[in-house]
Amino acid sequence: MTLSNNEILQYMSGYLRAWEADGYLSLSRFTEKQEALHEKNWAPKEKASSSMFLEFVSDCTEISFDYRILPGSSQKFYGIDLLVDGMNTVCKFEQTDRTEGTFFAKIEEKGKKKITVYFPNLARMEIKNLTVDGMMEKVQRKVRYLAL
């Protein structure tokens, strides 16, 4: 099953704003107003995808998506991590001179499991064509209250 960009958003966390750019889903941790306030002193690292992740429960054995990397810091590399039930199973590290690619992972664990894909914290990543060969469910988060 290949998801549209709107469908991908249902499984994303850590972003405040989303839009499409050349067919890719682009995300930001900041509002347009915050970006406008920092326009003159905007550091490339502030545009990175750090704190953003894709998370769902699935019985899938494969996951893939197309991505595009944009500068997000002075570093010359980026990493994408895939976790299955909280265990890091795939770490993909690439040089930032490669701006487009496809992330693909085989998942050995059988049955339903929680899949988490952490976006790079040193670069900005845009995605499209998320494909999973099984069912997908949203992760149910626990609501925590702060008592004062």
pLDDT at 13: 93
Per-residue pLDDT, averaged over 133-141, amounts to: 91
Question: For the chain, what is the largest distance between any 2 Cα atoms, rounded to a whole number of angstroms?
Answer: 50
Give per-residue pLDDT as tens, 70-99. Answer: 876 666 778 899 999 999 999 888 776 668
Q: How confident is the model at residue 112 (pLDDT cuts 50, 70, 90)?
A: very high
pLDDT at 119: 92
Gap between the Cα atoms of 19 and 40, Å rounded: 23
Amino acid at 102: T
The DSSP bridge pattern shows strands 17-21 and 24-28 to be: antiparallel
Give per-residue pLDDT as tens, 28-62. Answer: 988 888 878 777 676 666 777 888 999 999 999 99
pLDDT at 61: 96
